[in-house]
Every structure is written in C-alpha cells, then in structure tokens.
Amino acid sequence: MEVAGLTSITTEQLKKLLKYLHDGSLETPLNAHRIACVGFQFRHAELMSALRGLDETAIRAVLVCVIAERLKQENG
C-alpha cells in the first residue's frame, strides 16, 4: 500500500487549512463533517490518513512543518 500523506495537497491548500485552524473554522479532532465544513471534502482521504486522531496542536505542528519544508525547497 502506497502512502501519499499530504503530498497531493498543494502548499496553498495547506496554508488555507492552517488559516482555518488558526481562526477556529476547522475544528478538531478531524472527521468527515469538519473537513467538509471548510470545503476540503475532496481531500478527505489524504487529510484523514495523515491527521486522524491528532489534536489541534499536533495538526498545527504537522501543517507548519510541511509548509516550511516546501517553502525551503521552493526557495532552494
């Protein structure tokens, strides 16, 4: 089984998710309803695979790390 994690989600989408987490629009723990409420139902599988069971602090840490890593690679 291949694990894609968050690789198929764009950096801009990750930033949007982080914004929703910061402003309280994205509630935790994640579930299908909460993901759909912020318009990311099309990424349900990826988000649940990577972030299932994590609390808000852990999800924030994952998103910040992935975004930072991508920005570092882009700015090379």
Main-chain dihedrals φ then ψ at residue 21, nearest 5 degrees: -65, -45
Please report, for residues 5, 18, 49, 53, 55, the alpha-carbon distance to residue 2 in angstroms, rounded to integers and kept in the order given.
9, 25, 12, 20, 25
- Tens of pLDDT, residues 11-51: 999 999 999 999 999 999 999 999 999 999 999 999 999 99
Whole-angstrom Cα distance, residue 56 to residue 18? 10
6 in Cβ contact with 70 (< 8 Å): no
Residue 66 lies in a domain: yes
Tell me the residue range of the domain where 26 lies: 11-74
pLDDT for 10 beyond 70: yes
Residue 69 lies in a domain: yes
Number of domains in the chain: 1
pLDDT of residue 76: 78
Residue 6 lies in a domain: no
